[in-house]
């Protein structure tokens, strides 16, 4: 087999040959790769971008680590060195260019790179981009590119052993990797979750995880365009644009032109002089009456196509296109009567942030396709989210992720990649991190979605609030002082200086949660991670009283639904949550299992079997987070953000996610969709009264009709109240207060359901159901649910009817090639519900597979 490939010159657009070959070109080296274990001789075909693990899977050398307990069998992989190699020819047109370089977008992690047997690079950071001039080393034919990946374990173990103390890294599953207590993850600039987390496996990857590009040009090329929005209003946007041009020569007859790539309208055309080397050129211009970029729910996320051209005389040397959203987006923290505000202001409007925390979508990152990113962001949009927090134990995401957020109005809280650890921030490590931060701030700063840069996840809490500092002081005060000095240098000096220099005007936070140096969380200032419910075993009802200016983390765990469990654990006998297989996919261990069961025993009736347990644990998770989301929104404007943990999974697992690894929505995601709508109607019992809050994210006042009904299980109305209300813009208000005793009319609390409906003048309908007793106490009768099925485009439409109230109606099919437009919903007698189901199943198979159950079906 030949691993040599001829590089083809691919360019978009239509140009004459003279113009075509004057402009820079870029081709991806993604064909003809092979790999081998460094100490062995057998070569195997490889996929680039990819990982060692996925190549071993593809060559049937290891089994899928996500299946059953196979993760245990692949822990040897990260202790070996690996070699990747390809051969290539270069077209004459590229070979004759004056400048040729290799651009390594991502090497994971310790890699020596050789071109034609000459070492050209020693990489040591997964998050950095490496560019190497290779003009002098290239041949037109028979080039060989070899990458030697060193075992991260073998590289970093000596660093751990050389220290008289250890840097804490609580989520590093070193014992699962056979390393005992040697938590070495802090020494590698590599995704922390690869070493394990309390929702993820230990799969320490190596490989070419992002593309390798061969770039060629003559004379000059655009290296970077920075768009600084200095002042933005509805009337005008003042733009300062910096264009970095790499030039081979001094040139006086140069023009920089910025145009709208859609309308061809000129924004600026300015003559400039180039000096040999890297030039940073400034252009200032104003866009009058700009179309502003808005977050999801507030308006169009309009994007301009800024086309920046460098011309020498009449010849275009290079062109770059940037999708730019014109907006003013600031984090506002100012003193107020309660403490200090914490809210994001978009185009002068305070925005209540509704969303989730996002982790990488797979342990094997190159497997995350654009289609998967599309679904990830679409699921956020469809759940009415306007913010995702890119969490600090994962990666600075691919460009496409941020492009989707730009396009869909999803603001991004962007952590730097540090989480739940302390790091050796000095010497070469410090400089490596500094370059990593520069690379990623420069790469991402033009995206309108970026709302804030944040130094880390929970490192400040760990050091000052979890007892870490005291532990180090007790061991050795000098070591404690050293680590604290490194900590403060990292998050309070170096990273904020980089943000200020490379993304001026952007907001920065040293940590999350955070309100002040040397402090732990304060409900009156900063953001909070609230884990009283779950980790501290507080009642779910405590979500209603816990205060914060911004909840950037909170969550409640669940296993996936049975159809998902079946994909990674097909043997039903292994479904008990204490089985070895299920425990392998429960990284919270027996502690997490016990919490799921503890909360269920307190609040829900006993499930009749494991399938019922899996169903009920999803309802429980959904109910818990619904309680939190509504409470946080009711508390606005004191509270101005709610980001639950977490939006997704990196493998099939019991976790806090609202969408499981396969992308299937859990009850929590369906409930979030309702709780995050532009209007929320939220009933809650307080001091003997049923208070009906209406919360609005709309920027204009809304007229509406509010109806509160109390119904018994057979649908008979016990009590009803209807009022006209004025819904004030962008705030929360208690619109109606009713005495619970008057509503019951002598009925028991467990015999009735409160149904609240808000109908707006623009014909939208917002509903919510409320229970005056715990789910354990509710007297749900067995429901007979009938269904009728109609064929529609893309699948089927179900009409479901029940003879009595049915709580949490759950619909399921096997596999993952399906989606239920609604699920885990309540069904009242006499009020049929229509649900569209997307599936490719033939109708007979669909009817036989479809399962329908409710809460009463799941209990003994």
Structure confidence by residue, pLDDT tens digits, 700-731 = 999 999 999 999 999 999 999 999 999 999 99
- Cβ atoms of residues 318 and 222 within 8 Å: yes
- Helix (H) / strand (E) containing 18: helix 17-20
**CA Rg value for the chain:** 29
pLDDT at site 22 = 66
Q: What is the mean pLDDT of residues 738-744?
A: 96
Write down the mean pLDDT value for the chain.
Answer: 95
pLDDT at site 320 = 96
Backbone angles phi, psi at 175, to 5 degrees: -65, -35
Domains and CATH numbers, the chain: 4-214 (2.60.120.260), 219-324 (2.60.40.10), 332-675 (3.20.20.80), 679-770 (2.60.40.10), 785-858 (2.60.40.10)
Q: What is the pLDDT of residues 656-671, one digit of tens each?
A: 999 999 999 999 999 9
pLDDT at site 689 = 97
The encoded tokens of residue 342 equal: 């914490």
Give the list of residues 6+ apart from residue 666 with CB closer than 8 angstroms, or none: 558, 560, 561, 618, 621, 622, 657, 658, 659, 660
- Cβ atoms of residues 175 and 342 within 8 Å: no
Confidence band of 21 (pLDDT split at 50, 70, 90): very low
Q: What is the pLDDT of residues 231-289, one digit of tens each?
A: 999 999 999 999 999 999 999 989 999 999 999 999 999 999 999 999 999 999 999 99
pLDDT score of 550 more than 70:
yes
CA atoms of 780 and 794, how far apart (whole Å): 35
pLDDT at site 16 = 29
CA atoms of 423 and 491, how far apart (whole Å): 11
pLDDT at site 14 = 26
Tell me if residue 627 falls in helix, strand or coil.
helix
- Helix (H) / strand (E) containing 687: none
Tell me if residue 92 falls in helix, strand or coil.
helix
Confidence band of 8 (pLDDT split at 50, 70, 90): very low
Q: DSSP states of 568-613 as a string?
A: H---GGG-STTSHHHHHT-TTHHHHHHHHHHHHHHHSPPBSSHHHH
Three-class DSSP labels, 626-680: HHHHHHHHHCCCCCCEEEECCCCCCCCCCECCCECCCCCECHHHHHHHHHCCCEE
């Amino acid at each position: 087999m030949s691993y040599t490939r001829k590089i083809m010159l691919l360019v978009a657009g239509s140009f004459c040959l003279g113009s075509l070959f004057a402009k820079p070109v870029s081709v991806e080296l993604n064909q003809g790769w092979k790999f081998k274990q460094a100490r062995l001789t057998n070569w195997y075909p490889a996929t680039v971008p990819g990982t060692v693990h996925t190549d071993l899977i593809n060559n049937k050398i290891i089994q899928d680590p996500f299946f059953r307990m196979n993760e245990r069998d692949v822990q040897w992989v990260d202790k070996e060195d690996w070699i990747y190699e390809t051969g290539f020819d270069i077209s004459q047109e590229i070979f004759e260019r004056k400048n040729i370089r290799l651009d390594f977008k991502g090497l994971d992690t310790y890699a020596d790179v050789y071109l034609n047997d000459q070492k050209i690079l020693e990489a040591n950071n997964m998050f950095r981009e490496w560019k190497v001039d290779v003009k002098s080393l290239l041949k037109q034919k028979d080039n060989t590119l070899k990458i030697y990946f060193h075992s991260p374990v073998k590289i970093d173990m000596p660093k751990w052993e050389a220290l008289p103390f250890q840097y804490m890294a609580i989520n590093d599953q070193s014992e699962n990797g056979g390393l005992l207590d040697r938590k070495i993850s802090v020494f590698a600039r590599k995704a922390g979750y690869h070493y394990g987390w309390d929702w993820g496996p230990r799969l320490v990857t190596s490989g070419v995880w992002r593309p390798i590009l061969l770039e060629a040009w003559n004379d000059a090329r655009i290296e970077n365009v920075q768009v600084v929005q200095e002042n933005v209003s509805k009337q005008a946007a003042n733009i300062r644009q910096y264009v970095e041009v790499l030039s081979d020569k001094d040139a006086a007859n140069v023009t920089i032109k910025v145009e709208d790539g859609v309308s061809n309208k000129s924004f600026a055309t300015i003559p400039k002089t180039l000096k040999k080397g890297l030039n940073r050129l400034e252009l200032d211009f104003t866009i009058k009456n700009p179309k502003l970029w808005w977050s999801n729910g507030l308006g169009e996320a309009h994007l301009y196509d800024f086309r920046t051209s460098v011309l020498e005389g009449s010849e275009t040397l290079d062109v770059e296109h940037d999708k730019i959203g014109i907006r003013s987006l600031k984090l506002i923290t100012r003193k107020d009567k309660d403490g200090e505000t914490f809210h994001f202001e978009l185009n002068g409007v305070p925005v209540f942030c509704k969303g989730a925390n996002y982790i990488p979508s797979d342990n094997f990152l190159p497997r995350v396709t654009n289609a998967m990113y599309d679904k990830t962001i679409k699921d956020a949009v469809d759940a009415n989210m306007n913010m995702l927090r890119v969490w600090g134990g994962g990666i600075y995401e691919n460009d496409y992720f941020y492009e989707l957020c730009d396009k869909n109005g999803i603001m991004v809280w962007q952590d730097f990649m540090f989480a739940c650890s302390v790091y050796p921030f000095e010497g070469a490590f410090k400089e490596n991190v500094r370059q990593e931060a520069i690379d990623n701030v420069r790469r991402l700063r033009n995206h309108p979605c970026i709302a804030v840069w944040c130094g880390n996840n929970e490192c400040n809490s760990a050091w000052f609030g979890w007892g870490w500092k005291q532990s180090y002081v007790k061991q050795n005060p000098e070591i404690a002082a050293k680590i604290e000095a490194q900590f403060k240098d990292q998050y309070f000096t170096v990273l904020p200086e980089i943000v200020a220099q490379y993304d001026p005007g952007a907001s920065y936070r040293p940590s999350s949660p955070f309100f002040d140096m040397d402090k732990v969380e304060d409900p009156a200032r900063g953001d909070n991670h609230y884990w009283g419910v779950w980790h501290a075993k507080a009642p779910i009802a405590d979500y209603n009283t816990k205060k914060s200016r911004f909840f950037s983390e909170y969550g409640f765990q669940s296993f996936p639904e049975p159809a998902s469990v079946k994909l990674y654990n097909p043997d039903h006998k292994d479904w008990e949550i204490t089985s070895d297989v299920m425990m392998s996919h429960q990284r919270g261990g027996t502690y997490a299992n016990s919490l799921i069961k503890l909360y269920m025993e307190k609040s829900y009736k006993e499930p009749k079997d494991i399938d019922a347990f899996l169903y009920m644990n999803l309802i429980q998770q959904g109910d818990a987070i619904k309680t939190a989301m509504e409470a946080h929104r009711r508390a606005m404007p004191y509270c101005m953000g709610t980001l639950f943990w977490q939006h997704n999974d990196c493998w099939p697992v019991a976790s806090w996610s609202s969408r499981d690894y396969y992308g299937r929505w859990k009850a929590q995601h369906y409930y979030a969709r309702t709780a995050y709508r532009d209007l929320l109607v939220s009933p809650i019992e307080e001091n003997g009264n049923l208070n009906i809050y209406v919360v609005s994210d709309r920027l204009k006042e809304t007229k509406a009709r509010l109806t509160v009904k109390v119904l018994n299980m057979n649908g008979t109305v016990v009590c009803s109240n209807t009022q006209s209300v004025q819904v004030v813009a962008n705030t929360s208000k208690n619109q109606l207060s009713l005495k619970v005793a008057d509503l019951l009319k002598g009925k028991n609390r467990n015999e009735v359901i409160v149904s609240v409906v808000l109908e707006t003048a623009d014909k939208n309908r917002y509903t919510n159901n409320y229970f005056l007793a715990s789910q354990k106490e509710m007297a749900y009768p067995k429901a007979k649910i009938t269904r009728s099925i109609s064929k529609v485009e893309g699948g089927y439409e179900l009409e479901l009817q029940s003879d009595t109230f049915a709580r949490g109606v759950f619909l399921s099919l096997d596999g993952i090639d399906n989606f239920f437009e609604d699920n885990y919903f309540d069904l009242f007698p006499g009020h049929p519900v229509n649900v569209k189901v997307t599936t490719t199943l033939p109708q007979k198979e669909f009817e036989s597979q479809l399962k329908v159950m409710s809460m009463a079906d799941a209990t003994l």
